[in-house]
Structure 1
């Protein structure tokens, strides 16, 4: 009887192509080193608040992680507070109630940029009528003139401002002039927070150079576990009112038993990021090649924030006639993970508040597509993406016809 099992050659033909992950800004794949660090921590017993040997061992893991993270961003370990992620970290620091040198320090107004992550746009623990929006220009950069004027008005009124502007945008990759924003804020006797979640591990971060008083971070953007984040202050002479109160964990800054495994995985991911920082220029070159290939095929495509400094891995585009939701699905079916530049709610894609703030109309703000590379992204993967892009974009204005492509070897034009 003839076997019904496929032969080796047939099995090879049937084997699905390896998926390509180009959505690193949403979350990077868990690193093996981070996974192993978590397993090691999970294999040990002990509560970090206990005084016995097992408890002290757990505490040592947390303190070691604190030193690793502090060293990576130029801070004191005492100024690091671990949280459950970037959103909790932002909610915690966006409070009008702080202390400096042990004395109360109250902020009257919160100014946030129009392109912030929703966890910052919502204003944290500031009253809604105390939150103001800083406009951005067409590239997504904060309007420094507007900010300087408004800070002057606030100071003249005898009020103290708190300013929150992200270091790198999650949709466009734009890098904000945080040091200049911090200088303006300090001149108005204010405090400045920067959401550095997207920037961590992709660009150098040094708090002394950056000028921000506090930054917030998340592990899963650099290959650490989901559910781990951190608050890092430029100095331990300033402190925030805790969001979660109860026990004395994290120096009374964040109550609740620490997630030792997630914190250990976070530290392992930070160590990996430190070791691989030199690889980002190559990824930036690959991103630029991809950008060229996409616009060569469909000249009507608009590269968002093309004239602003950006993260080395991020490319965001929009185009008339591009249905972002359909494009994401088409790429997914082809084995490629990318994302829409729009916010998702209940499975429906709506207009991106980031693109709307940059001046795109309601329709175009729904047509953003974000491709975010990782250090392991290869030129072959980009070639495969470009091949699929030609299928997705064939209906766009100016897109090349099949006759235009006749004789093309199929290799990416960027290659």
Structure 2
């Protein structure tokens, strides 16, 4: 099978697997004082440093707290932002991931004011509208670096400047951009990242906290991770995340060039399709395309030798059109005629050529019989 769903998850890098395997046999608790525990703790510390360096915190001045994934990190970031503040307002964007929007809407039901900013047809937020919405009642502004469905890159630094001018925090969901594109870390207060989006294992992510940020605990118990998130860490998952982050940092330019090559080929192969979202200010490893008259779910079923999607993995099977595509102004019919193609480090030129031919042939057949 040709795998073109890199936004949903990425293959495990061989180097990451090698870093994880020893910890199947080394079973020490990283929070124990004996030799086995100290060895495990050292592996966790190395992983934290590897992740922080790739994130852009070269001196590890901030705090990197391992979590079960980015969903947990985002929930923690948003909920704690209002818990530890007298401010009662959240500002976010209509195209954010469900873990942000659903958390924000839950907080709204807890009497927190919520402003969801619209985007243009290019998927970008209007900074003038953002400036009007962000005021002295705002506790946190939440914005995604790279959109998981359409690849659009939001102006994080500009949003952070607006947030800080009003005395608010800036939380960035950097899951899709981490290790791929630059992140203005110095302008962020909170950043969520995930391992399995950068060729690492599932089940681990992190929340980065800027230096000096006073933050309430997520979980109580043994006081692990500076007392902020109690619970026993998995040295194997931490080691895998660290190795994946280090590899992403080392191969960043090589990966970037490879993605651009594949994107050039794919855009040419799908020139009869329409790109959803702007062509500039986007990560090119994500192509969200639509073609009038196509049923995306039927297309996915017809092209069984290619793994691709009709939107985020989180929303698959819900039967609802993508909220991201609706935010761009697409109606239900256009949204249901859209597919997402994601490629990465292990995608080959032959993969793109073969997959595009199969998808285009199936689309043509579907239109012929429509």
Q: Bigger shift: 71-80 or 131-140?
A: 71-80
Structure 1: distance between partners of 2:348 and 2:32: 47
2:243 is matched with which residue? 268
- Residues 221-264 of structure 1: CA deviation (Å, up to 9, x unaligned): 011000010011222x1033222222211111111111211111
Query: How much has 1:111 moved relative to structure 2?
Result: 1.1
> Residue 97 and residue 199 in structure 1: after superposition, are their counterparts in 2 closer, same or farther (change >3 A)?
closer
Query: How much has 1:284 moved relative to structure 2?
Result: 1.6
Tell me whether 1:199 sits opposite 2:180 in the alignment: no
Tell me whether 1:319 sits opposite 2:319 in the alignment: no
- Residues 15-49 of structure 1: CA deviation (Å, up to 9, x unaligned): xxxx2111111100011121122211221131111
SS of equivalent to 1:122: helix
Query: How much has 1:292 moved relative to structure 2?
Result: 1.9
- Residues 95-140 of structure 1: CA deviation (Å, up to 9, x unaligned): 25579xxxx6443211111011100001357343422211111111
In the superposition, the TM-score normalised over structure 1's length comes to 0.83
Question: Which of 206, 211, 226 is residue 230 of structure 1 equivalent to?
Answer: 206
1:133 is matched with which residue? 116
Structure 2: distance between partners of 1:346 and 1:357: 18
Q: Which runs of 5+ in 1 are unaligned?
A: 1-18, 400-415
Structure 1: distance between partners of 2:324 and 2:301: 22
In the superposition, the TM-score normalised over structure 2's length comes to 0.92
Structure 1: distance between partners of 2:218 and 2:335: 34
SS of equivalent to 2:181: coil
Structure 1: distance between partners of 2:361 and 2:282: 27
Structure 2: distance between partners of 1:198 and 1:61: 25
Write out aligned runs for 1:2-401 (5 A): 19-75=1-57, 76=60, 79-97=63-81, 105-123=85-103, 126-128=107-109, 129-130=111-112, 131-151=114-134, 154-155=135-136, 159-208=137-186, 211-235=187-211, 237-279=212-254, 280-295=256-271, 298=272, 301-331=273-303, 333=304, 335-341=305-311, 347-394=317-364
How many residues get paired? 362
- Residues 314-371 of structure 1: CA deviation (Å, up to 9, x unaligned): 111012211110111222x2x2111112666683542000000111112212222010
Aligned-residue RMSD, C-alpha: 2.0
Aligned residues of 2:142 and 2:172 also touching (Cα < 8 A): yes
Aligned residues of 1:92 and 1:240 also touching (Cα < 8 A): no
Asked which structure has the greater RCO (Cα within 8 Å, sep 6+), the reply is: 2
Structure 1: distance between partners of 2:312 and 2:72: 22
Q: Which runs of 5+ in 2 are unaligned?
A: none
